Amino acid sequence: MTHITSILQEIRSFPPPTAFQSQAHIKSVEEYEALWEHAKAHPDLFWAEQAASVLTWDRPWQETLLNKGMESQWFVGGQLNASVNCLDRHLDTQGDKVALIAEGEPGEVRELTYRQLHREVCKVANALQSLGIQKGDVVSIYMPMVPELVIAVLACARLGVMHSVVFAGFSAEALRNRNEDAKAKLLITADGLYRRGAIVPLKETVDQSLRGVSSVKNVLVYRRTGAPIAMEPGRDLWWHDLVPSQSEVCVPVSVESEHPLFLLYTSGSTGKPKGIVHTTAGYLLGTALTHRYIFDLKPTDRYWCTADVGWITGHSYVIYGPLCNGTTVVLYEGAPNFPDWGRFWKIIEKHGVTQFYTAPTAIRSLMQQGDAWPAQYDLSSLRLLGTVGEPINPKAWLWFHEKIGKTRCPIVDTWWQTETGAIMIAPLPGAISTKPGCATRPFFGIVPDIVDRQGHSLGDNEGGLLVIRQPWPSMLRTIHGDHERFLDQYCKVIPGEVYFTGDGARRDSDGDYWILGRVDDVLNVAGHRLSTMEIESALVSHPSVAEAAVVGKPDEVRGEAICCFVTLKGDAIPGEELLKELKIHVVDQIGALARPEEIRFVQALPKTRSGKIMRRLLRDLAAGRQITGDVSTLEDLATLDTIRAASAEDDM
Ligand code: 7RM
């Protein structure tokens, strides 16, 4: 019953462009495979070699790996500091290199060199110390995508203080839950942020969230917009009152390898959010190494990852990986469509962006605006593109490849999770041929497998559960305050010491991995286990469809029936005719077994703020049930109401 029938067979394959390949760090499949085999056979040796060359240590470690199954400790006995690895060690060699190019939504640009960033981090770290914050404490950060967010994060790291960044789009309730669970002592925020030309009043939300929360003693407020806000005497402090007078010297706190670097909350499929805990050395090593090889980093690059720092992608690939590697990082505060849909392309042109890393959901909305937007800008600085967050449908992949990369840039489809800390499966762009919708091969030291519920390995092209067979340095160590939940969810689901990802996947005969989405999202139609993602991909390949979400609804005969929620492109007309056409289209693309029972046209799909469709909610709607469970991660509650209303109309 764990086999997943994979129905979409994508056969196109794109070898690395020759010009890219000849300058890449890893230039051939043979080179990749030799290194991967070495790392698999001698993980201790491989990771020790990498840790010694990639990181700067205060004290060397004694044991590379101590593990009991998937519970592991890395580089035991070693000491280091994460902010030193991201800043101090670059000062002698490239102190005047630009670390951050930060563009605010209104359009102003600020550049900070490594030396300037270091200075600011030291001052803020001293400010935190003056508030009594010390190693072992938790500081919560709720800020816009401005340099001060990066500075706050690294200031915590400098003191061995755990940061818990909460995405600035979250509600007061979500912020409160996270602060309570983390027992945060200090909250760093801003008066507001700019989004689609308007000011979002962050501080108001903060005030609301703090009512009744006892752990938070102080709130440090960065002035971003200048809009008037309330300050609570004795609790709230302005950044500009406290920080500028601080010393530019701050001795970093040297911490043990396994000292927790941060907490990051992620929504579970049900119930309360989980505080994922990452530690210092292993996490830094994983992010720096993957960033260097998968983005084929070069010293002159200007790298842009559009993810908000409130998500793991922002932690790993805006801050820690890139800064550890001494990269010039582009940071953008605002919306992709402000003042118009050309904004991203304009940023690429203006700053000469070389690598552009974003999410399929963003690519699809940019694609819908038409080719004229990217065509207006010079995108010739780009040499590599990346995607993350969900499977990318081939149509969006091909658009990205042709219209943005002009067929010249490899696309790295990077599969990983908050829990894995760093990218696990992705093509090395100079070595591995890419296929639209395929994450391809595991990174060095990562040993994935496809198994059934009993943990037996499945063969080529048999869809099943994606597991990781060996521990790796950047994996989560626990769930904050709930180690049992960590063991139950990740370590004990599948027999035989493996890490369970919760995703379904298939490995093809080339050894490439195709992610089929969350196992919870798999349908069972008349005994066929189908990936909802593949049916969605078939739907969006129809010219009238903008986005699609597919869920199962209980069906007496077939177990589950296929129910599709579809948003249409501007000019498409919803109605019986299109409905029929779409059903036929899916059958043509996939086969009769995937014929949708029901298609509902809706205005918008319920998504998390990082763009993942919340199918759990749609399943409830499809089955005519009340919505259950946590909706705190839902971006826009109103979408649910409009879908409900549309469904009610259908019922009449
Ligand atoms: C980095 C991130 C993790 C889940 C993961 C998958 C899905 C992420 C891809 C992907 C297919 C990809 N962390 N996912 N990347 N599915 N192809 N390249 O997104 O914790 O927020 O989400 O996202 O289901 O388990 S996350």
Q: Do 294 and 424 contact (CB within 8 A), yes or no?
A: no
Q: What angle do CA 283, 284, 287 make, to 5 degrees?
A: 85
pLDDT in tens, 332-390: 999 999 999 999 999 999 999 999 999 998 999 899 899 999 999 999 999 999 999 98
Q: Tell how far the Cα of 463 is from the centroid of ligand 1, in angstroms.
A: 17
- β strands within 528-647, DSSP E: 528-531, 545-555, 559-568, 598-601
pLDDT for the residue 648 = 42
Residue nearest to atom 11 of ligand 1 (CA): 391
Q: Tell how far the Cα of 417 is from the centroid of ligand 1, in angstroms.
A: 5
Provide the residue type at 476 as one letter: L
Residue nearest to atom 5 of ligand 1 (CA): 417
Q: Is the peptide bond before 147 cis (omega within 30 degrees of 0)?
A: no
pLDDT in tens, 114-163: 999 999 999 999 999 999 999 999 999 999 999 999 999 999 999 999 99
Please report where in the chains the tokens 């994983």 appear, as a residue.
286
Q: Tell how far the Cα of 469 is from the centroid of ligand 1, in angstroms.
A: 19
Residue nearest to atom 10 of ligand 1 (CA): 390
Q: What angle do CA 527, 533, 536 make, to 5 degrees?
A: 105
pLDDT in tens, 289-329: 999 999 999 999 999 999 999 999 999 999 999 999 999 99
Q: Tell how far the Cα of 591 is from the centroid of ligand 1, in angstroms.
A: 27
Question: How crowded is residue 465: how many other Cβ atoms within 10 Å of its Cβ?
Answer: 26
pLDDT in tens, 534-550: 889 889 989 999 999 99
Q: What is the pTM of this model?
A: 0.89
Residue nearest to atom 19 of ligand 1 (CA): 389
Q: Tell how far the Cα of 414 is from the centroid of ligand 1, in angstroms.
A: 8
Q: How many helices (H) and strands (E) does the chain have?
A: 22, 30
- Identify the helix (H) or strand (E) that includes residue 114: helix 114-130
pLDDT for the residue 229 = 97
Residue 423 phi/psi, 5-degree rounding, is -60, 135
pLDDT for the residue 125 = 98
Q: Do 194 and 158 contact (CB within 8 A), yes or no?
A: no
Going along the chain from its start, the domains and CATH numbers come out as: 539-651 (3.30.300.30)
Q: Tell how far the Cα of 389 is from the centroid of ligand 1, in angstroms.
A: 4
Range among 222-236, 532-546, 562-576, 598-612 with highest mean pLDDT value: 222-236
Question: Span 558-562, mean pLDDT?
Answer: 84
Please report where in the chains the tokens 């207006």 appear, as a residue.
376
Q: Tell how far the Cα of 254 is from the centroid of ligand 1, in angstroms.
A: 33
pLDDT in tens, 46-84: 999 999 999 999 999 999 999 999 999 999 999 999 999
Residue nearest to atom 23 of ligand 1 (CA): 389
Q: Tell how far the Cα of 3 is from the centroid of ligand 1, in angstroms.
A: 21
pLDDT for the residue 1 = 41
DSSP string, 415-447: B--TTT-S--B---TTTS-B-TT--BSBPTT--
Q: Which of 416, 532, 536, 609 to mutate to test the pocket of ligand 1 (most atoms within 8 A of CB)?
A: 416
Q: Is the pLDDT of residue 475 over 50?
A: yes
pLDDT for the residue 173 = 83
Q: Could you give the angle at which helices 280-294 and 43-54 cross, rounded to 10 degrees?
A: 80
- β strands within 143-212, DSSP E: 162-165, 186-190, 193-195, 198-200
Q: Do 324 and 373 contact (CB within 8 A), yes or no?
A: no
Residue 475 phi/psi, 5-degree rounding, is -75, 155
Range among 474-478, 516-520, 524-528, 551-555 with highest mean pLDDT value: 474-478
Find the residues whose C-beta lies inside 6 A of ligand 1.
266, 312-313, 388-391, 413-418, 439, 501-503, 515, 517-518, 610
Q: Which atom of ligand 1 is nearest to the CA of 502?
A: 25
The CA distance from 13 to 438, in Å, is 10
pLDDT in tens, 575-591: 999 999 999 998 888 77
pLDDT for the residue 633 = 63
Question: Span 558-583, mean pLDDT?
Answer: 91
Q: Which atom of ligand 1 is nearest to the CA of 392?
A: 17
Residue nearest to atom 13 of ligand 1 (CA): 417
Q: Which atom of ligand 1 is nearest to the CA of 418?
A: 20
Q: Tell how far the Cα of 412 is from the centroid of ligand 1, in angstroms.
A: 14
pLDDT band of residue 650 (cuts 50, 70, 90) is: very low
Q: Which of 167, 415, 520 to mutate to test the pocket of ligand 1 (most atoms within 8 A of CB)?
A: 415
Residue nearest to atom 18 of ligand 1 (CA): 415
pLDDT band of residue 651 (cuts 50, 70, 90) is: very low
Q: Do 144 and 190 contact (CB within 8 A), yes or no?
A: yes
Q: Which of 503, 512, 521 to mutate to test the pocket of ligand 1 (most atoms within 8 A of CB)?
A: 503
pLDDT for the residue 589 = 80
Residue nearest to atom 8 of ligand 1 (CA): 389
pLDDT band of residue 7 (cuts 50, 70, 90) is: low
Computed over every residue of the chain, the mean pLDDT equals: 93
Q: Do 361 and 386 contact (CB within 8 A), yes or no?
A: no
Q: Is the pLDDT of residue 513 over 90?
A: yes
The pair of structure tokens assigned to 40 is 């698999």
- Helices (H), ranges, 483-562: 483-486, 532-540
Q: Tell how far the Cα of 610 is from the centroid of ligand 1, in angstroms.
A: 10
Question: Span 448-455, mean pLDDT?
Answer: 95
Q: Tell how far the Cα of 310 is from the centroid of ligand 1, in angstroms.
A: 15
Residue nearest to atom 3 of ligand 1 (CA): 417
Question: Span 512-519, mean pLDDT?
Answer: 90
Q: Tell how far the Cα of 416 is from the centroid of ligand 1, in angstroms.
A: 5
Helix (H, G, I), strand (E, B) or coil at 301: coil
Residue nearest to atom 1 of ligand 1 (CA): 417
Q: Tell how far the Cα of 606 is from the centroid of ligand 1, in angstroms.
A: 17
Q: Using the Cα atoms of residue 605, residue 607, residue 613 and residue 616 in order, give the sign of their dihedral.
A: negative
Q: Do 544 and 366 contact (CB within 8 A), yes or no?
A: no
Q: Is the pLDDT of residue 652 over 50?
A: no
pLDDT for the residue 637 = 62
Please report where in the chains the tokens 């280091």 appear, as a residue.
80
Q: Which atom of ligand 1 is nearest to the CA of 413?
A: 18
Q: Tell how far the Cα of 371 is from the centroid of ligand 1, in angstroms.
A: 27
Torsion angle of C-alpha atoms 448, 452, 456, 457, degrees rounded to 10: -40
